[in-house]
Each structure stands twice: as C-alpha cells, then as structure tokens.
Amino acid sequence: MSKETIESSAAAIAGRVGARELSAAEVTEAALGRIAASDDAVGAYLTVLGDGAREHALRVDARIAGGESLPLAGVPLAVKDNMCLTGTRTTCGSKILENWIAPYTATAVQRLLDAGCVPVGKTNMDEFAMGSSCENSALGVTRNPYDLSRVPGGSSGGSAAAVAAFEAAIGTGSDTGGSIREPGAFCNAIGFKPTYGRISRYGLIAFASSLDQIGPLTRTVEDAALAYDAMAGFDPMDATSVDRPVETAATHLRRDLKGVRIGIAREFDTAKLGAESHACYARAYRDLEALGAELVEISLPTADYGLATYYLIAPAECSSNLARFDGVRYGLRVEGDDVQAMYEATRAAGFGAEVKRRILIGTYALSSGYYDAYYVRAQKARTLIAADFAKAFETCDLIASPAASSPAFEFNAKSDPYSMYLMDYYTIPFSLAGLPALSVPCGWVTPEGGSSPMPMGLQLAAPLFEERALLGAAHAYEVATSHATRHRPRLAEVAK
C-alpha cells in the first residue's frame, strides 16, 4: 500500500475500504509498518496491538463482505491509555496500573469499533491525565513528531503524536482542562472536546468527573466530525451522559463563515504571547473575517479565575476518584504489616509526584474547615465563569482564542508546576463551563532557539450542544487556510 494512503485522512481510507479497493487488513498492516518504522523515535504508544489489530481488521473485512456500510471502515485508531479496551493493558500512564488488563471496552471506543475502526495501540499520556506535556507519564517518553526535542503536549500527547506521525488516522483523547486541545495544537492536529455529557465516559478512568470529556484527535476537521458522529450520544452506563439527539456533524461542514459572529475576548490579549504568536493570532482572526465572519468584541471578566478555580475542583475530584487505587482491587499492591501500611506503601510507590500533589491539594480543599473556603468558593466561581460565557454567546455564535499559551516546548522546560498549569490558561475556562471547543492549526512559529517551525492552534468554541456549528466553521477555516499541510513531521527519514 502506498505511503499516500496511510497518510490520507480517515474519510479517504474508509472510502477506499468501503469500496473494496483496499482491505482493512492491508491498511492495518501499513499502519503497523509505520509504527514499527517511526515509533521508536516518537514513542506515541505504550502498547502496540499487533495480532490483536489484525484480528479486528479481519472482522471489519468480514462485515464489509457481508454488505455492511461502515463510516470508518478500516481506519487505524490510537486509543489513549485511560480508556478501556477488553483484554488490553490500560495503564493511565501510571505504575499503579502498569499491568492492569481492562475487562471491558469503553463505550466511546466501542462505538468507533462499531463504525469500522481498527485499534492499533494504546497511547502514552500524563499520569492519570494530569499534565500538559506527557512528561508526567511514569511509563514512557513521547516526542513531538515536528521536533523530537520537544514535547507533544498533554495529557493526550500520545494520541496527538500518533496522529501527527501518521501512525493512526484517529486518536482518542480525554480533556478535563485542555488535554485534547493543547496536544492537538502542539502536534498540528485537530483536537476536539465536545460538550460535557455528549460522549459517554463509561470505561474512561476518571480524573475529575465533572470535567472529563472524551473526544477525537485527527488530521482533518472532517475526520473529527466523523469520529464525533460515531462516538456521541446517550449511554445509560454513564449517569452524566446527556439524553438528547445528536445532529450529524460530518454532513454539515461549511466552506465559508457568512453570517457567523465570532467573539474575541477583550481579556485574552495575545500580545503577551510574544510578537510572533501575536501576529499569528491576529492573522487567524483576519482570516476568519475574510471568510465572511463578523468579529465582535466580547468580555469574559471572570475567565482569569479559571486556572485557580480548576486547580481546586479538579484536584478535589481526583482525590476522591483516585482513592480506589489502594492495592486492594486494582493494579499494584505493595505489602505492609497491616492493611493501612499496605495502602500507604502501594500509593507511595504507585503514584508519581504530580498525582500526589493533586491528591494532597484536593484532600485539603475538601477537608472540614476548609471546604467552604476553597471547594465551595471554587464552585461559585465556576458558576460565574459559565454565566460569563452564556452572556457572551448572546452577542456571538462562536468564540475564537489561542488554544495554548505557547507552541510546543522542550523537555524539562517547565521546572515548576505552575508554569505547566499556565499552558491551559485559554482552554480551562471553556472546560469549567462544559462548552464544546476545538483546536485547529492556524500557522507556524519557530520558537526562540528552536530549529523547526512548530504548529500553532486556534481555539474555537461554541454554546452547549452546538458541535455541528463548531465543526462546520472549523472546516471552513481549515480548508481556506490549509496551515496543517504546510510542513511535514520531521520523521521522513525515520519512516521511509
């Protein structure tokens, strides 16, 4: 199979497999070949499903031979390692789950398989999805395919890198405060987080349950729409899944932005991002206008409280969610003299520094005497942030902003936790409000001291449940600007 085919979109691959020009088995072989050639350098995968993937592919080919029409026939799928896939290791990037085998499949993943995807592997991530660079993974290093000395972003960095390196056409990610959008921006991919509740979280190992949302990482907006159409919709297995009809997005992609009002928040001053990034976003906004959009100034006065609010609510929920990892039922157990000693030894050995930091902050914020001062106040701030967005959307249809605070940075560049937290400054407020938002490539900037142009991401966000309008507009921007195809990952030499 040609290099062009494995590098083409999920839509193109599915079209050819559906038309029986290619078999899912052939596509899978090509994807596994690409992984073998480049993943030693990239490190996107924690587990590669060789024969498991081949078996899935044969089942897809049998379904096609039986006359089924599958929207994602034979599409190589990378699954973030916090999502269950029956019989495969699901580690969350943590030593505590290093050898845990999932006994069932997450609903979102199952729906992609039902649509014809072939899972080729499980991807690296920041431990329990806490981080913005994948450097918090306890199990491996993932590198940015556009510059191997830089991080791929996080926490869904493995899926973003896999898609960017053509080692899969669709990657699943989870986004709590930015973990799909930021690695999407860093790796020249579309990173799409739907409305909270749109896609079932059943089988997604929880970080912060009131924020966690699954979504796709892809190389085109159309592919993101196809993956979303497959995954979205009510699931009785997730109590927060929303029972409301899903409008197909892939059939409503637009070519212009006529009649669309796009809000630019006064508070999101891109000048502080440096001259090159500032110019990049200024041009992106002008390009939106050139496509027919009307740019309107909006105000999000409480957005600045997003980070502080998030870093109380997310740790509070994680301290509760991660209490189950104690050596009794799941994963690692380190024996001790009594059960308390066993808990302590297991958690001390199993969790990394960032996870422990979050558990400590969260436990403190929820403790008696501090609960009102921290957790309750954070919930109130969250309500105000959501109200700001509701007000802004009275005067605009979409909001545009940077997706991340900088292009991809070098390993070990963020020496303190706070500078890492700042990467999600632009994405977190939207997460707190539950809004659908995505990152779409919007240009290239060569960072100071860097040798390669690195991709930049534009964040577009919509009111609750307006995924169709969001993806439609993002497609118009993507097609008109075609930033994503301007540079190739610097892996050509590896992946010949």
Nearest in space to 89 (alpha carbons), one of 119, 61, 60: 119
130 binds ligand GLN (CB under 6 A): yes
| Annotated active-site residue in 179, 277, 319, 439 | 179
| Cα gap 405→136, rounded to integer Å | 19
Q: Are 180 and 217 in contact (CB under 8 A)?
A: yes
172 binds ligand GLN (CB under 6 A): no
Amino acid at 492: A
Nearer to ligand GLN, 176 or 459 (CB): 176
Nearer to ligand GLN, 26 or 175 (CB): 175
Active site residue 452: no
Binding mask 263-302 for ligand GLN (x = CB under 6 A): ----------------------------------------
176 binds ligand GLN (CB under 6 A): yes
| Cα gap 120→203, rounded to integer Å | 18
Closest residue to ligand GLN, judged by C-beta, is 179
Q: Are 235 and 188 in contact (CB under 8 A)?
A: no
Judged by CB under 6 A, the chain residues 136 through 155 that form the site for ligand GLN are 155
Nearer to ligand GLN, 74 or 152 (CB): 152
Q: Are 10 and 49 in contact (CB under 8 A)?
A: no
Q: What kind and span of H or E run contains 186?
A: helix 181-186
Pick one of 424, 466, 467, 478: the residue that binds ligand GLN (CB under 6 A). 424
Q: Are 142 and 42 in contact (CB under 8 A)?
A: yes
Shortest separation between residue 176's beta carbon and ligand GLN, angstroms: 3
Shortest separation between residue 178's beta carbon and ligand GLN, angstroms: 5
Q: Which stretch binds ligand GLN (CB under 6 A): 172-180, 236-244, 300-308, 464-472?
A: 172-180
| Annotated active-site residue in 38, 137, 155, 406 | 155
Angle ∠(272,276,279) on CA atoms, nearest 5: 85
439 binds ligand GLN (CB under 6 A): no
Pick one of 119, 121, 131, 455: the residue that binds ligand GLN (CB under 6 A). 131
State residue 71 phi and psi, 5-degree precision: -65, -25
Residue 43, Ramachandran bin (φ over 0: left; ψ between -120 and 50: alpha; else beta)? left
Active site residue 122: no
Pick one of 81, 127, 167, 175: the residue that binds ligand GLN (CB under 6 A). 175
Pick one of 43, 121, 178, 362: the residue that binds ligand GLN (CB under 6 A). 178
Output the CA–CA distances (angstroms, integers) from residue 48 to 1, 31, 52, 81, 156, in the order listed: 20, 11, 9, 11, 16
Q: Are 191 and 324 in contact (CB under 8 A)?
A: no
The residue count for binding ligand GLN (CB under 6 A) is 13
317 binds ligand GLN (CB under 6 A): no
Shortest separation between residue 181's beta carbon and ligand GLN, angstroms: 8
476 binds ligand GLN (CB under 6 A): no
Q: Which residues contact 165 (CB under 8 A, 6 or more apart)?
A: 34, 38, 39, 42, 44, 145, 489, 491, 495
Q: 176 has which bridge partners? A: none
Q: Are 322 and 363 in contact (CB under 8 A)?
A: no
Shortest separation between residue 8's beta carbon and ligand GLN, angstroms: 29
| Cα gap 248→376, rounded to integer Å | 38
Active site residue 23: no
Q: Which stretch binds ligand GLN (CB under 6 A): 10-18, 128-136, 362-370, 394-402?
A: 128-136
Q: Which residues are catalytic?
A: 80, 155, 179
Residues that bind ligand GLN (CB under 6 A): 129-132, 155, 175-179, 207, 314, 424
